């Protein structure tokens, strides 16, 4: 009888430890920014992909208009290059790194696919 009680107690204790120690992680896209004139152009580089981060490491920043843009090495941004709007997204700041992120969604993944198709067509004109 004492063994059964001990096993039940041990099972309950380990179950509560595993349930209480949830380490919630989600995928996020890093948000870069460049200043054009006096306007801040915030964008996600679709070639970088999403990164897995803990939800506990964020400092909320607010909602900003975000674009999809893949910068070319050694080329300064101008409005003739191919880019696409994601729209208003809630942005987070990594406390440890100081970099900005938006949460990955199915809608953004679809826009990234459309961006890649559109960019290829744009470059092959």
CB atoms within 10 A of CB 27: 15
Q: Is this structure's pTM higher than 0.85?
A: no
- What is residue 57's predicted lDDT score, i.e. its pLDDT? 79
- What is residue 22's predicted lDDT score, i.e. its pLDDT? 47
- What is residue 71's predicted lDDT score, i.e. its pLDDT? 92
> pLDDT truncated to tens, each residue of the chain (125 aa)?
666 655 655 555 555 545 444 457 889 999 999 998 899 999 999 999 898 888 777 888 899 999 999 998 888 898 889 999 999 999 999 888 889 999 999 999 999 999 999 999 998 88
Report the alpha-carbon distance of residue 102 to residue 92 in Å, rounded. 6
* 101 belongs to a structural domain: yes
Query: For residue 116, what are the domain limits?
Result: 24-123
55 phi and psi angles, rounded to 5 deg: -70, -15
* 7 belongs to a structural domain: no
* 36 belongs to a structural domain: yes
- What is residue 12's predicted lDDT score, i.e. its pLDDT? 57
Domain total for the chain? 1
Report the alpha-carbon distance of residue 74 to residue 112 in Å, rounded. 23
Give the residue from 56, 47, 61 showing the smallest Cα distance to 102: 61
């Amino acid at each position: 009888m004492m063994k059964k009680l001990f096993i039940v107690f041990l099972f309950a204790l380990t179950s509560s430890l595993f349930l209480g120690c949830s380490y919630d992680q989600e995928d996020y896209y890093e948000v870069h920014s460049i200043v054009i004139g006096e306007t801040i152009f915030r964008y996600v580089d679709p070639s970088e992909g999403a990164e897995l981060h803990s939800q506990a490491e964020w400092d909320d920043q607010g909602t900003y208009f975000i674009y999809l843009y893949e910068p070319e090495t050694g080329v300064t941004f101008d409005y003739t290059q191919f880019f696409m709007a994601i729209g208003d997204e809630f942005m987070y700041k990594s406390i440890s790194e100081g970099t900005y992120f938006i949460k990955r969604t199915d809608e953004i993944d679809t826009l990234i696919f459309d961006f890649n198709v559109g960019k290829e067509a744009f470059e092959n004109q």
